[in-house]
Amino acid sequence: MLDTSSPQVRAVLPLLYVAWADGVLTPSEAETIRTQIRAQDWIDTSTREAICNHLDPQTPPTATQYFRWVRALKEGAKETSVTTRCSLAELGAAVATVGGDGAALSDASRRALADIEAALGIDGEELVGDLLGERPEPTPPTSEAPFEVSTLTEVLDGEHADLRDHIRTLLQDPVFRYRPELDTAAYREQVLRWCEHLAEQGLGALAYPEDYGGDGDMGRFIATFETLAYHDLSMVVKFGVQFGLFGGSIHRLGTERHHEKYLESAGTLELPGCFAMTERNHGSNVRELETTARYDPATEEFVINTPHDGAHKEWIGNAAVHGRVATVFAQLHTDGEDHGVHAFVVPIRTEDGTPRPRVRIEDCGEKMGLNGVDNGRLWFDQVRIPRENLLDRYASVAPDGTYDSPIPSPGKRFFTMLSTLIGGRISVARAGLSAAKSGLTIAVRYGNRRRQFGPKDEPEVPLLDYRTHKRRLLPKLATTYALHFALDDLTRRFAAKGRDASLDAIEAEANALKAYATWHTTDTLQEAREACGGQGYRADTRIGRLKADTDVFTTFEGDNTVLMLQVAKGLLSDFRREFRDMNLLGMARFVATEMATQVAELNPVVTRKTDADHLRSLDFQQGAFRYRAEQMLQNVGQRLKRRIDDDMDPFEAFVDVQDHLVDLAHAEAERVILDRFVAAIEAIDDPTIRESLTALRQLFALARVEADLDWFLEAGYVTSAKAKAVRGGVNALCDELRPQAEALVDAFGIPDACLAAPIATQDRVEAA
């Protein structure tokens, strides 16, 4: 048994400690120590042998012996001035002086110990840290925002700040308390009550004309929808179905008499209604839906019919329980001719709630989420409605059955009717983004408080200090800000259009941003859940509910992939037109632009530039996004042309390049988002806000370049060295933004009541 009070033994104790600590030394290295110990003539021979005995792999120390060595080192260290950053040799020399007879080691002995340690080539400091480190208590987290949070909230709230604040106050009213204990039937009733409360506040009719309780402002309606989306998403979706889709279809597809008859009661929710477009067999392909509306001149009625079982209306919100009428989309037949899809007002339930004759209604039942919305299926068996129930803004049928429309082409007519969906698409994108903001608020607050692991002699480290955790959340926060401003700008332009203005210019952007934003929401909530670990899995932390409720946002109001393909096709037809339009000036301008871009961007000096200022510059970031979108467009145009030239069927040719089309649409979406974000920042006066938003813009763009580095490398737009610098640049921006992360989520201004009983609140109390 070693005498741990002997200074000679104490001097070599650190070596004994590492010899038996797991994973530090190999058996041959322990053997090395043994050989060296035998050569130390400042140690008594018997002591030397006793020490060497304890270095023999055949005779390991007992746990109790090992524990005594560790205790002797720890207690000895406390009585000396050694720090946790000393070497093993220094520690040995120090503890040799305390306890026992306490004689100091000679310089030669110290050098000998240091030589043994050096020969092992191990990091002695780290091992001493492991041994001696003790964790002090953490100090509460601080938030270092270089700006006023309330000022940033004002910037985000924009022109409808008062309305948003009103809604925030409203949502804190006890009537809006979450009721997770309710079963599905009761939950649906609760959601109806909530929507009625909102209607009482005049929020449902906001977008309708003044005569019907509104102020005709789509911008205010969408701001309402977005802010409500901090609360229960079933409520928001039901709100959108009733006031946006049902009421909106009456408003936008109907004429005066329909407004007169339905709009006020739609806005007050006295008349709950449905928007019955989607069919089971035709989700995305609306143009080929199969429900028919045959005109019967004998009775001046339309006959609405579901021709076979798979042609029923599917997923119709408000249909399972509450809806009394529905805007039904059907193929209009008159005079033996099919004039394509039109919208009709069809009563589906009597006032007492029973389904009307010849209308079959089925409950869609439980869903992954949004169970407060009563989705249903509708079948019509030769249901007769008056001729006046055709929503006839874009097409009318005379009493004798003569069809007329101000738009001669059925294609254009169809797409004009469909463009009434744009408002809903923008609203869904913004509501999804609100959910992403909720998820980020919860996850950032948690990451700023939750500690796990850390250096040996310091408090455990908040999760958000870890590189992996910053990378999880901060680029998503930056994208969320970028999307906020892009969607805000789009909403403003959309709201400024009169009811009769063409929406062509806005539609492609709405499609691109809807798809981009809702995919971003899905990704962000997944990261937020994982970033909160097990706590994120609790139902009452809301992330699970947000995930489940928003999961279908990527599907409804236009399947994201289908929307992205439309965006790309839109770009291609512009492109095709540019080439087809054979006037020389246009062609010259087009080619000149292209060549100028190529020359500017592929300048070998620029593709090699790696300094941070360059990588963060508008010049580089906007240049990169524009170049990518333009190159992808040309590239996919050429791919298509080759296939068409090879006599491939055009449909097949498009299918064959779909992966490139979706990439193009993504690139276009990011180009637009960045441009809008840049413009929004330029319009801000407060320099502290500009500075933080600029850092977010830089992180958004650089992280997206990083995500698509394969493309930029392949295109020769960046070199390997620059690619490396881009990755480093993302890290640096994450580091810079990390101290203000919590202020940046606080600025969303999500009411605590909406975040329910989140982990963040609980930990905030604990940390304070």
Give the single-character DSSP code of 176: G
In this structure, are residues 443 and 527 in contact, taking their beta carbons and an 8 Å threshold?
A: yes
Task: Give me the least distance between CB of 635 and a copy of itself, in Å please.
Answer: 10
Asked if residues 122 and 129 have their Cβ atoms less than 8 Å apart, the reply is: no
Distance of closest approach, residue 724 Cβ to a copy of itself, in angstroms: 7
* CB closer to a copy of itself out of 511 and 554: 554
Identify which of residues 188 and 676 has a Cβ nearer to a copy of itself in the complex: 188
Alpha carbons 415 and 420: distance in angstroms, whole number: 9
Least distance between a copy of itself and beta carbon 650 (Å): 5
Q: Which residue, 354 or 409, is less far from a copy of itself as judged by CB?
A: 409
| Least Cβ distance, residue 182 to a copy of itself (angstroms) | 12
Smallest distance, a copy of itself to C-beta of residue 709, A: 4
Q: How far is the CB of 347 from a copy of itself (least distance, A)?
A: 25
Q: Where would I find the H helices in 97-217? A: 107-120, 124-132, 149-157, 161-171, 184-200
Least distance CB 585 / a copy of itself (angstroms) = 13
Closest CB 63 distance from a copy of itself, rounded Å: 3
The smaller minimum CB distance to a copy of itself, of residues 385 and 552, is found at: 552
Residue number, 61 or 247, with CB nearest to a copy of itself: 61
Measured CA to CA, the distance from residue 197 to residue 191 in angstroms comes to 10
Residue carrying structure tokens 């699970």: 544
Look at strands 337-347 and 359-363 and give their pairing: unpaired
Rg (CA), the chain: 35
- First and final CA of the chain: distance in angstroms? 51
| CB environment 468-478: b (16+ within 10 A), e (fewer) | ebbbbbbbbbb
Q: Which amino acid is at 238?
A: K
193-220 burial: b if 16+ Cβ within 10 Å, else e: ebbbbbbeeebbbbbbeeebbbebbbbb
Phi, psi (deg, nearest 5) at residue 102: 70, 20
User: Which residue, 229 or 564, has its beta carbon nearer to a copy of itself?
Assistant: 564
**Residue among 42 and 537 whose Cβ is closer to a copy of itself:** 537
Diameter over CA atoms, the chain? 122
Three-state SS string across 251-292, please? HHHCCHHHHHHHHHHHHHCCCCEEEECCECCCCCCHHHCCCE
Which of 300/465 has CB closer to a copy of itself?
465
Least separation in angstroms between residue 70's CB and a copy of itself is 8
Please state the closest distance from residue 490 (CB atom) to a copy of itself, in A: 22
Q: Please give the single-letter amino acid code of residue 608.
A: R
Which residues are CB-neighbours of 357 under 8 A, at least 6 positions away? none
Sign of CA dihedral 644, 648, 650, 653: negative
Enumerate the β-bridge partners of residue 384: 303
Q: Minimal distance in Å, beta carbon 394 to a copy of itself?
A: 9
Instruction: Output 271 or 567, the one with its CB closest to a copy of itself.
Output: 567
The nearer residue to a copy of itself, 562 or 753, going by C-beta atoms, is: 562
Nearer Cβ to a copy of itself (29/300): 29
Q: 96 with 59: CB under 8 angstroms?
A: no
Q: Closest CB to a copy of itself among 252 and 282?
A: 282
Of residues 50 and 122, the one with the C-beta less far from a copy of itself:
122
CB of 445 to a copy of itself, least distance (A): 17
Q: What are phi and psi of 360, to 5 degrees?
A: -105, 130
> Looking at beta carbons only, is 193 or 577 nearer to a copy of itself?
577
Shortest separation between residue 639's beta carbon and a copy of itself, angstroms: 11
172 vs 731, beta carbon nearer a copy of itself: 731
- Which residue, 352 or 366, has its beta carbon nearer to a copy of itself? 366
Residue 290 near residue 282 (C-beta atoms within 8 A): yes
Closest CA to 717 of 590, 618, 621, 612: 621
Which helix H or strand E contains 233, and what residues bound it? helix 233-239
* Sign of CA pseudo-dihedral 525, 529, 535, 537: positive
Smallest gap, in angstroms, from Cβ of residue 543 to a copy of itself? 8
Measure the CA–CA gap between 571 and 661, rounded to whole angstroms: 10
Question: H or E element: which one contains 328?
Answer: strand 325-334
759-764 long-range contacts, CB within 8 A, separation 24+: 759/442, 759/446, 759/532, 759/535, 759/536, 759/538, 759/541, 760/441, 760/442, 760/445, 760/446, 760/449, 763/445, 763/446, 763/449, 763/450, 764/445, 764/449
Smallest separation (angstroms) from a copy of itself to the CB of 563: 12
- 177 is written with which tokens? 């308390």
* Least Å from the CB of residue 589 to a copy of itself: 17
